[in-house]
Amino acid sequence: MFEKIEIFDKRYSELSQRLYEPSVAANPDEYQKTMKEIKSIEEIVLTYRDYKKALASQQESLEILNETSDQELKELAQAELDEAKSNIEELSEKLKILLLPKDPNDERNVIIEIRGGAGGEESALFSAVLFRMYSMYAEKHNFKVEVLNANETELGGYKEISFMVEGEGAYSRFKYESGVHRVQRVPETESQGRVHTSTTTVAVLPEAEDVELEIDPNDLKIDTFRSSGAGGQHINKTSSAIRITHIPTGTVVECQDERSQYKNKDKALKVLKSRLLKEKQDKQASEIAADRKSQVGTGDRSERIRTYNYPQGRLTDHRIGLTLYKLEDILNGNLDEVIDALITAERAEKLKENMTQ
């Protein structure tokens, strides 16, 4: 483990020196590239340096304990030794986690697609609740949200809505949301006060970069149609909505949120590329690690991942057995406790896999 970190340490020093070279400082692209690489290894290197300081402190304290007969000095050295041992253990565990393979998509922007499932209008209304929750969570992390396409119902729900979340590390926070979300509550459309169960499906896609995925224009069937929805001044008046079909895979993407046909086409292509990239990555991942899949699901849209129980004010994440009685707080965008627990569980699973290899 430490041989690998020594290489990172040496590289970090080299890169830090490079920033002062005139050729790098004068070239914005080169400077940004160097800074990006520095940032990718910085936490590992700084943690390792703290670890080495703790080792040095431990050695120094041991030498004092062995060489001095002064009782007061011995007590001070013992206290420093205990602290150094504690730091060594803590930093060693942190280094193990930092050295785990990272998801290459973690720093990307993300496209989220929410679709109503079982439950009709109630499912569509809960789709709107999830969109609000994710938007508020994104705002708390200074991420930018842009709606790409929305199919709204008359009661203010969404049959489906897709949106982009832009910001460094967006995918790393939202990737655990992919799957089936189940809600148990008294619907607004229910007059008898009975609790109903409905479901909503969430898909999370890392934004595809143009260099990663080339699409042959001849493989695309592009149709225009009039926007439809629950209202709006320009609804059904102009053929600005776009439907793109990727002929080889049968993947269909629609976008009607913008008045401009060109803007809708651009957004639809972004979603299409991201869907195709996700499918490609999922296929590669299943081929490479079919027998070592993490227990914390991050991609299966058919997997029931979470239940939102309104009468009890309870949220349960079924993947890790987490239950929290603070549903209102979570629906107001305070998702960190849930997502942090999922990250911790995934790291624990990866550490376990590393130990058994």
Tens-digit pLDDT profile for residues 174-220: 999 999 999 999 876 666 678 888 999 998 988 876 555 677 788 88
pLDDT of residue 291: 38
192 vs 229: which has the higher pLDDT: 192
pLDDT of residue 191: 61
pLDDT of residue 1: 66
User: E-assigned strands of the chain?
Assistant: 110-116, 144-152, 158-166, 179-185, 196-206, 220-225, 241-246, 251-255, 304-309, 314-317, 322-324
How many angstroms separate the Cα of 89 from the Cα of each of 85, 218, 343, 345? 6, 58, 21, 20
Question: Strand, helix or coil at 267?
Answer: helix
Dist CA 195 CA 183 (whole Å): 10
Check whether 287 has a pLDDT greater than 60: no
Model confidence pLDDT, tens digit, residues 6-41: 888 999 999 999 988 999 888 888 998 899 889 888
Joined together, the tokens standing for residue 336 give 């960190």
pLDDT bracket for residue 284 (50, 70, 90): low
Joined together, the tokens standing for residue 272 give 């299409």
Instruction: Please state, rounded to an integer, the average pLDDT across all residues of the chain.
Output: 83
Do you know the residue count of the chain? 357
- Residues facing residue 131 across a β-bridge: none
Joined together, the tokens standing for residue 199 give 């479901």
CATH assignment of 110-288+297-348? 3.30.70.1660
Per cent of the chain over pLDDT 90 is: 39
Question: Strand, helix or coil at 313?
Answer: coil
Sign of torsion over alpha carbons 63, 64, 69, 72: negative
pLDDT of residue 206: 86
Average pLDDT value for residue range 257-282: 78
Check whether 298 has a pLDDT greater than 70: no
* All structural domains of the chain with their residue ranges: 2-98, 110-288+297-348
CA neighbor of 186 nearest in space, from 311, 331, 306: 311
pLDDT of residue 259: 66
How many angstroms separate the Cα of 296 from the Cα of each of 28, 130, 270, 311, 327? 39, 21, 27, 27, 21
Joined together, the tokens standing for residue 179 give 């799957």
pLDDT bracket for residue 272 (50, 70, 90): confident
pLDDT of residue 314: 96
pLDDT bracket for residue 309 (50, 70, 90): very high
The dihedrals phi and psi of 26, each to the nearest 5 degrees, come to -85, -10
pLDDT of residue 319: 92
pLDDT bracket for residue 254 (50, 70, 90): confident
pLDDT bracket for residue 235 (50, 70, 90): very low
- First-to-last C-alpha distance (Å) of the chain: 15
Dist CA 104 CA 165 (whole Å): 17
Average pLDDT value for residue range 79-98: 91
Q: Which residues make Cβ contacts (< 8 Å) with residue 345, sequence separation at least 6?
A: 295, 296, 319, 320
CB atoms within 10 A of CB 251: 14
- Which range (62-76, 134-148, 184-198, 311-325) has the least confidence? 184-198
pLDDT of residue 190: 67
101 vs 294: which has the higher pLDDT: 101
Average pLDDT value for residue range 247-257: 82
Dist CA 293 CA 350 (whole Å): 10
Dist CA 320 CA 348 (whole Å): 11
CATH assignment of 2-98? 1.20.58
